[in-house]
Structure 1
């Protein structure tokens, strides 16, 4: 009997994917940081029974039409906006993601961005490395306090709740905006539901954790930034496309808001000459929200389990369900 063929679009830990090697012929793109070329992905998809993909891989109608024997796509991410999930369902292809396992790691990174941006940690580190520290001054690299301030979380899902939990340790006032009320967050963390406009007006830290949908695309634009406090800091750990980057740049350079911490961008990867990177009041990271060894290995293992289950005719652990 012919063994199934699985293609992995980025270099991953073979140890975590071992269950796949036991049941199938597995081929992996050998680069960790360079995406699999589109032409090669299309070629491999034509004979693949399963794909283990990244957010940078477009699993669209063209690919799905050519992948005649494809049974499952396992995305190494919580998000799946790179996949045409509805069309995959029509084609009988199961789509899986990796929810929950990266919640705490991403929340840690989010709070790290809050602290780094508010307390100007990157500037301060460079200040020492560049031999600029010559004396002490009362307001030398003075930043903004985090404790007892108001945090506004846009998108109170599991990561949002994990961020709220961390905010309680800083005794912050917690506001949130969501498509629907989250009573668990209100009871566990004392969070208060607010309209988006109210949250923008009151929050000292506006945290974007919303998924990318047509409704949230460029949710944070010129109008949104104008509604924020001039002392407010904007943090984005969701998707780059929820922000109009030109409007954010304008808000930062015109001192309409105080700073921004960004883990995601519209077109990734960005380069050092990206306009936002050159601003002292911006902390820019290379999309490392879930990048801890423990979490990334767990995500790989979950992808392997999902693929193995589907190929065996069983229900995967974390199927993406569309209505």
Structure 2
């Protein structure tokens, strides 16, 4: 029996690619190049399945152009905002993701972004690296302490819950807003807010963990930023589309926000030059899940979904 044909759009960890090559007629991308839209369509027309990352966009037009041969999109990501789920469902294409396995790694990055922003990590690193550290006094490089502060979580899903656990280690008081309140054993004493406005009002640190749905895009904007306490810190390890970056720049310049810690941006790769120019922004290049352990787990989870699908079973992580 012929093996299903599988396209892996980006270079993955060695053990993941080896397993894929064992079980599938696999098309790899050893040079890790980014597919153009035309290249993505052409490659997907040749296979039964594709294992993409968030860097490949499956719009309704792309799905239509690929045609009927593609049977499943097994994402190497939790987020699925790069796939038009309604169009995939209408075309009979199954879509899966990789939840759970990246929660710890992403939570670590959220805490790194919080601390980097609060303790002026970008400024300090640049100063030492450039040889400009030639002064010290009690007033030198004074940042904000997070211990005991109020930690607001927007989106208390898997990653939000783990990040909240990490924040509790700093003695922070956890507040959250979610579509629905969590049961007590998951809430762990966190304060639920039934409106976004109520959460923002008490968030000394606001950490974003909600999906970039049509309703959530630009949810952090001039109006919502104004509701935060003065000199708050905002952290985003979810999706860049959640923040109106022009409004964020204005709030950082004005002093309304003390700082921001960002792992994601509206434009990726590349980021935002206006944000890069600000000293009170701690930035990372979308590496929330970039650990050896998590990258392996994500790849294996995507392959588990493919294995189930081609065995005639329901994939465990089906989203469309």
Bin of the TM-score, shorter chain as denominator length: over 0.9
Is the contact made by 1:208 and 1:237 (CA closer than 8 Å) also made in structure 2?
yes
Structure 1 residue 302: deviation in Å? 1.2
How many residues align structurally? 318
Assess if the C-alpha contact under 8 Å between 1:146 and 1:170 holds in 2: yes
Q: How far is the alpha carbon of 1:8 from its aligned partner? A: 0.9
- Cα distance in 1 for partners of 2:128, 2:192 equals 42
Q: Residue 253 of structure 1 corresponds to which residue in structure 2?
A: 253
1:50-106 per-residue CA deviation (whole Å, 9 max, x = no partner) reads 001011211122332323221111111000011122222222221110000000110
C-alpha offsets along residues 199-222 of structure 1, whole Å, 9 cap, x if unaligned? 212211011111111211100000
Whether 2:31 is the aligned partner of 1:31: answer yes
Q: Structure 1 stretch 66-75 or stretch 209-218: which is displaced more? A: 66-75
Give runs of aligned pairs for residues 257-296 of structure 1, distance below 5 A: 257-270=257-270, 274-296=273-295
Partners of 2:122 and 2:281 within 8 A in 1: no
**Match of residue 46 from structure 1:** 45
Structure 2 counterparts to residues 116-155 of structure 1, below 5 A: 116-155=116-155
Which string of whole-angstrom CA distances, capped at 9 and with x for unpartnered residues, describes residues 145-184 of structure 1? Answer: 0100011111111111111111111111111111111134
Comparing 148-157 and 312-321, the one that deviates more: 312-321
Contact 2:308 2:314 in 1 (8 A): yes
Residue 178 of structure 2 is aligned to residue 178 of structure 1: yes
Deviation at 1:187, TM superposition (A): 4.5
Q: Could you list the runs of 5+ residues in structure 2 that have no partner in the other structure? A: none
1:161/1:185 contact within 8 Å kept:
no
- 1:234 maps to 234
Kindly indicate whether the alpha-carbon contact (under 8 Å) linking 2:37 and 2:62 is maintained by their aligned counterparts in 1.
no
Structure 2: how far apart are the matches of 1:4 and 1:125?
Answer: 49
1:317 paired with 2:316, answer: yes
> How far 1:312 moved relative to its partner?
2.5
- Structure-2 separation of matches of 1:207 and 1:69: 41
Q: CA deviation at 1:141?
A: 0.5
Runs of 4+ in 1 over 4 A off after TM superposition: none
- Does the Cα contact within 8 Å between 1:46 and 1:67 map onto a contact in 2? yes
TM-score normalised by length of structure 1: 0.94
Superposed displacement of residue 31, structure 1: 3.0
**Residues 258-279 of structure 1, C-alpha deviations (whole Å, 9 max, x = no match):** 11111111111125x7100110
1:73 aligns with: 73
Give how far 1:186 is off: 6.3
Q: What is the RMSD of the two structures over their aligned residues, measured on CA atoms? A: 1.6
1:307 Cα deviation after fit? 1.4
Helix, strand or coil at the partner of 1:20: helix
After alignment, is 149-158 or 197-206 more displaced?
Answer: 197-206
Any idea what SS the aligned residue of 1:304 has?
helix
User: Residue 62 in 1 paired to residue 74 in 2?
Assistant: no
Q: Distance in 2 between matches of 1:257 and 1:249?
A: 9
Normalising to structure 2: TM-score of the pair? 0.94
Query: Which sections of structure 1, spanning at least 5 residues, go unmatched?
Result: none
Structure 2 distance, partners of 1:80, 1:256, is: 33
Structure 2 CA distance for partners of 1:25 and 1:193, relative to 1, 3 Å: same
